[in-house]
Structure 1
Amino acid sequence: MIIVMKAGAVKKDKDEVLKRIKELGYKPHVIHGATRDVIGAVGDERGKAVLQSIESMHGVENVVPILQPYKLASKEVKKESSIIPITDTLSIGGKQLIVMAGPCSVESEEQIIASAMAVKEAGAHVLRGGAFKPRTSPYSFQGLEEEGLKLLAKARDLTGLPIVTEVVNPETAELVAEYADILQIGARNAQNFALLKKVGQLKKAVLLKRGMSMTIQEFLMSAEYIMSEGNQSVILCERGIRTFETATRNTLDLSAIPVLKEKTHLPIIADPSHGTGNYHYVAPMAYAAVAAGADGLIIEVHPDPEHASSDGPQSLKPAKFARMMAQLRLFAEAAEREL
């Protein structure tokens, strides 16, 4: 259920409503809107009728049942689009189109610094790079772990770019959160519910990638796991799904972007690098994602992709990325966004 507060409701009114929700055995989540606050009451669906009594409390406008199985992520809770703050000067979900860029894996200090400088110069807003790498094969490069996190932090200090990096298990989540500005949940962990709960308890923005075989409803239910733990700063990422097609690594489901825009207030970015698996197709699909309504992009860029430890075939060289960014400005303008 959602409790819609009146526009003039004072703090005392809200506190009384929060207290009553807890007394009834539900967990309250406050969502701040442009003109009024909404309080989501999450808990056992079977007894939600008791929440209807809150409608008579002072400062409450009405109590409305949420029809979707995902409650806090639904537009029924919040009509306007959420804007997720990353730093004091950078947010995702507003008019600005945000580009995250960098290598799949942090391989060395020289590599990550060169990558960071290149993507910064081309106009990227966030540096991406994996310190912990979940791989299909146990024999593949697994990442530099904490040493990689330290190198990412050094690259941030040199360029001013905030960093997004992957969390692979609950045990290392707090360690990653000490370094990262955005915690990434990869496709393989999109339904790792213990991990989703853990990052939901941390005060960091979360970039949640869609699982390679997930429906949109399952995707939003994963976001709900994070939000139900108190972390409302969730950014969705469409990174391609597994189909029968073999010409590309995955099938980048651009139709998911307008669908998600209709169903949720959370921002959505696209990953054309994983979505195609081939650097030739990254730029065209990046432009298409912006046209479809994406709030941002995450792009793999490597100074020497031929010798990359992971995902070299889908990584752009810095010069190619710079050309893509120049062209992207035209698509951003056409979509009434700023780059």
Structure 2
Amino acid sequence: MIVVMKAGTPEAEIERLSQEFVSMGLEPEKIVGRHKTVVGLVGETADMDALQLQELSGWIEQVLRVEKPYKRVSREFRHGEASQVFVSTPDGAVPFGEHEPLVIVAGPCSVENEEMIVETAKRVKAAGAKFLRGGAYKPRTSPYAFQGHGESALALLAAAKEASGLGIITEVMDAADIEKIAEVADVLQVGARNMHNFSLLKKIGAQDKPVLLKRGMSATIDEWLMAAEYIMAAGNPNVILCERGIRTFDSRYARNTLDLAVIPVLRSLTHLPIMIDPSHGTGKWEYVPSMAMAAIAGGTDSLMIEVHPNPSKALSDGPQSLTPDRFDRLMTDLAVIGKAVDRWTDSPLPVLA
């Protein structure tokens, strides 16, 4: 359920109502929108009478039921408004959201050595990226494939962060690693293979770093949003959804099927920011530019693009990685589309207080 307050409702009245909702066994969450404040109610509300709840205060405009199985994730929960996820980086606060400038995330699949990751960070930063992606821990289909350098790679990501000023996004595979990864990472990534790891989702939701949740390889949209609900139900409201391609019947020409139709679908269902990963979505670097531009035109809030200084020698996912020079050219092309849809800016980032 959501309780929509009238414009100008005193803060003391919202606090009084929240305490009353708590006494009724509910969990109230205050959501401050552009024009009104909404109080989301989580708990056993099925048998509650919306009209009776509305009589609790003359400041209540209306009480509405959230019909979706995912509550906090639902756009209804925010009375139709989009949410923002602000991520603190060395260069300032970067906002992800429907009404914010496009955010570019770039870097290699895996952190291989210090020279490679620092060089890549500087190049993608110069081209306009705000975040460096790079795996310290890598889930691989084969147990014999490169699994990442693990904890030692975190120090290399920290060095790249210091050298470039970029924010860091890297994957968490094991709940036991959350604390040490969070010391370096500005956004914690849950990979496609762990989207249904509910124990990990709960634990990663109990910390305060923003979370990037990738869609599972065969996950439906409802399953993906319910996975996000696990994170938010554990207390972390800062979730970004990442479409990275799904497994369908034809994998001969592209690694996955990049579901760009998910952008308008998610817009109607959830208030959370959306990221598109055309690198994993296609598996071939030559297809990445077209899908990246299409994603911007379709309304994505962010792009994740793999960049490697020498893709032919990459330890993982070389065929889908752009060289820094190709990334430079792509950013020039993306700027044209981004400016056309009013999602591109060269202005400096706001600074968090």
Check conservation: 1:24, 1:50, Cα contact below 8 A.
Answer: no
Q: Which residue of 2 aligns with 1:132?
A: 137
**Which of 148, 164, 170 matches 2:169?**
164
Relative to structure 2, which stretch is displaced further, 53-62 or 219-228?
A: 53-62
Task: Give structure 1 regions of 4+ aligned residues with deviation exceeding 4 angstroms.
Answer: none
Residues 281, 46 of structure 1: CA spacing in aligned structure 2 closer, same or farther, 3 A cutoff? same
Q: Which residue of 1 aligns with 2:116?
A: 111
Which structure 2 residues correspond to residues 66-81 of structure 1 after superposition, within 5 A?
A: 66-78=66-78, 79-81=80-82
Structure 1 CA distance for aligned equivalents of residues 161 and 61 of structure 2: 46
Structure 1 CA distance for aligned equivalents of residues 232 and 6 of structure 2: 24
**Which of 318, 321, 325 matches 2:324?**
318
Q: Which residue of 2 aligns with 1:305?
A: 311
Residues 171, 51 of structure 1: CA spacing in aligned structure 2 closer, same or farther, 3 A cutoff? farther
Check conservation: 2:50, 2:64, Cα contact below 8 A.
Answer: no
Q: Deviations over 1:123-155 (max 9, x none)?
A: 111111111111111222221222211211111
Letter aligned with residue 43 of structure 2: G
Q: Which residue of 1 aligns with 2:231?
A: 226
Residue 50 of structure 1, CA deviation: 5.7
Letter aligned with residue 112 of structure 2: E
Which structure 2 residues correspond to residues 211-222 of structure 1 after superposition, within 5 A?
A: 211-222=216-227
Residue 189 of structure 1, CA deviation: 0.8
Q: Which residue of 2 aligns with 1:90?
A: 94
Check conservation: 1:17, 1:54, Cα contact below 8 A.
Answer: no
Q: Which residue of 1 aligns with 2:8?
A: 8
For the pair 1:56 / 2:55, whether they are aligned, the reply is yes
Structure 2 CA distance for aligned equivalents of residues 316 and 5 of structure 1: 49
Residues 51, 154 of structure 1: CA spacing in aligned structure 2 closer, same or farther, 3 A cutoff? farther
Q: Which residue of 2 aligns with 1:142?
A: 147
Q: Which residue of 2 aligns with 1:36?
A: 36
Instruction: With the length of structure 1 as denominator, give the TM-score of the two structures.
Output: 0.96
Relative to structure 2, which stretch is displaced further, 101-110 or 164-173?
A: 164-173
Residue 51 of structure 1, CA deviation: 6.7
**Which of 260, 266, 277 matches 1:271?**
277
Check conservation: 1:21, 1:51, Cα contact below 8 A.
Answer: no
Q: Which residue of 2 aligns with 1:184?
A: 189
Check conservation: 1:239, 1:274, Cα contact below 8 A.
Answer: yes
**Which of 88, 100, 106 matches 1:101?**
106
Check conservation: 2:128, 2:331, Cα contact below 8 A.
Answer: yes
Which structure 2 residues correspond to residues 272-287 of structure 1 after superposition, within 5 A?
A: 272-287=278-293
Relative to structure 2, which stretch is displaced further, 38-47 or 327-336?
A: 38-47
| Identical pairs, percent | 51
**Which of 327, 336, 339 matches 1:333?**
339
Structure 1 CA distance for aligned equivalents of residues 24 and 330 of structure 2: 54
**Which of 289, 294, 303 matches 2:300?**
294
Residue 95 of structure 1, CA deviation: 3.1
Residue 52 of structure 1, CA deviation: 5.5
Uncovered stretches (5+) of structure 1, i.e. residues with no partner: none
Structure 2 CA distance for aligned equivalents of residues 184 and 96 of structure 1: 21
Letter aligned with residue 289 of structure 1: A
In the alignment of these two chains, the number of paired residues is: 338
For the pair 1:258 / 2:227, whether they are aligned, the reply is no
Q: Is the partner of 1:163 in helix, strand or coil?
A: strand
Residue 313 of structure 1, CA deviation: 0.8
Structure 2 CA distance for aligned equivalents of residues 50 and 153 of structure 1: 53
Q: Is the partner of 1:76 in helix, strand or coil?
A: helix
**Which of 192, 205, 217 matches 2:210?**
205
Q: Deviations over 1:167-217 (max 9, x none)?
A: 112221122112111111110111111111112111111111111111111
Structure 2 CA distance for aligned equivalents of residues 10 and 177 of structure 1: 37
